[in-house]
């Protein structure tokens, strides 16, 4: 993979005009007659993230053929779904920061945040009707179900303390990779619709999504809030078992295992406790193992689209894989 620093500006260079059309679809979808909704929407638009999912939909559409109006609508819908899940996640996690700014639940509190997330989900449903494509609708509805199931599975396993590596991969496939895979496959569904293109774009997105979540799991233990723009250590504080921790548990001595369990069992984890947990995970090889798995999924993503002829769009998709592996937030 590329080792040079890759920027989203470089990645999106071949689709700048497409992004403008998507942006218009997205902003129109959020409009409301309720003033508070419009205020929150403006706040979200000002503080939006990397727009990875709509970028993937458009790049995948360009990889397979020529984007259609449905391609841009699908891209807007993927971003709506993503934002709605983030708003709900921040409420569940008691998060105070998102992208370096106060999260919506921090500014408008939980009740408004939950309702705003619901409003955005309803807007995604309205957008779905406009697509009028059964294949696309089937894929999107299946993904929406997986997003919720994956989050609930994670909470269940944190309560029962029964997370295994196999369950972990199933969970992140549902809660993260499914949305990224669908974002990519919608590019094929709204253009060529061929089985070959659908399989390739889905495979690319599925593996990239797995790599994306593993990278976020590394951030949770290793990232600085000033870099990532969100609260660090949230998963550890909530006893959510991520890949570095799962590996460490399985590769420690009994004494070390007991010590790690004791640290994780502390209800209010101080910065020192988080640093101690980080040190134990590092010594047991948890971070190195997670990085290896990240590389494996990244390579699988590249292999999924390897048969397409070289083009600026294919390069952008490949660069996006490297961007994820090298990103600092």
Residues 273-328 have pLDDT tens digits of 999 999 999 999 999 999 999 999 999 999 999 999 999 999 999 999 999 999 97
Give yes or no for a contact between 80 and 123, defined as CB atoms under 8 angstroms apart: yes
Confidence at residue 303, expressed as pLDDT on a 0 to 100 scale: 98
pLDDT band, very low/low/confident/very high, at 63 (cuts 50, 70, 90): very high
Residues 210-252 have pLDDT tens digits of 999 999 999 888 876 545 455 667 778 777 789 999 999 889 9
pLDDT of 32 above 60: yes
Residues 177-208 have pLDDT tens digits of 999 999 999 999 999 999 999 999 999 999 99
* Candidate ranges 13-27, 42-56, 250-264; pick with highest mean pLDDT: 13-27
- Which residues are paired to 97 by β-bridges? 102
- Which residues are paired to 102 by β-bridges? 97
Confidence at residue 104, expressed as pLDDT on a 0 to 100 scale: 93
Residues 68-96 have pLDDT tens digits of 999 999 999 999 999 999 999 889 888 88
Q: Whole-model pTM above 0.85?
A: yes
Please tell me the distance from the alpha carbon of residue 282 to that of residue 245, in angstroms, as a whole number. Answer: 10
Token couple for 269:
């984890």
Average pLDDT, the chain: 90
8-326: CATH class: mainly alpha
C-alpha dist (Å) from residue 178 to 18, 87, 186, 268, 306: 23, 18, 12, 33, 21
Residue ranges per domain, the chain? Answer: 8-326
The residues, ordered by sequence, that sit 6+ positions from 297 with a Cβ below 8 Å of its Cβ are 207, 208, 210, 211, 214
Please tell me the distance from the alpha carbon of residue 217 to that of residue 42, in angstroms, as a whole number. Answer: 29
């Amino acid at each position: 993979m590329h080792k040079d620093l890759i920027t989203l500006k470089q990645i999106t260079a071949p689709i700048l005009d497409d992004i403008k059309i998507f942006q218009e679809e997205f902003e129109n979808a959020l409009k409301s007659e309720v003033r508070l909704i419009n205020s929150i929407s403006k706040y979200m638009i000002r503080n939006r993230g990397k727009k990875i999912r709509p970028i993937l939909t458009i790049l995948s559409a360009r990889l397979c053929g020529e984007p259609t109006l449905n391609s841009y609508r699908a891209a807007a819908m993927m971003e709506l779904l993503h934002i709605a899940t983030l708003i709900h996640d921040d409420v569940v996690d008691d998060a105070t920061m998102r992208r370096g700014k106060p999260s919506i639940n921090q500014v408008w509190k939980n009740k408004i945040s939950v309702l705003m997330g619901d409003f955005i989900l309803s807007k995604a449903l309205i957008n779905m009707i406009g697509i009028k494509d059964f294949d696309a609708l089937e894929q999107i509805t299946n993904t929406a179900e997986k997003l919720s199931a994956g989050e609930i599975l994670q909470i269940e396993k944190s309560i029962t303390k029964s997370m295994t590596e196999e369950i972990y991969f199933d969970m992140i496939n549902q809660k993260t990779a499914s949305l990224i895979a669908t974002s990519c496959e919608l590019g094929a569904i709204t253009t060529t619709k061929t089985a070959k293109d659908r399989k390739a774009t889905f495979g690319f997105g599925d593996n990239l999504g797995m790599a994306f979540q593993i990278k976020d799991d590394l951030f949770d233990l290793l990232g600085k809030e000033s870099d990532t723009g969100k609260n660090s250590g949230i998963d550890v504080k909530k006893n959510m078992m991520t890949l570095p921790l799962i590996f460490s548990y399985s590769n420690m001595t009994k004494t070390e295992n007991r010590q790690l369990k004791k640290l994780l069992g502390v209800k209010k984890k101080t910065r020192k406790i988080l640093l101690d947990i980080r040190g134990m995970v590092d010594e047991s090889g948890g971070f190195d193992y997670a990085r290896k798995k990240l590389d494996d999924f990244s390579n699988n993503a590249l292999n999924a689209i390897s048969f397409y002829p070289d083009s600026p769009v294919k390069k952008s998709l490949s660069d996006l894989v490297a961007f994820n592996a090298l990103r600092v937030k």
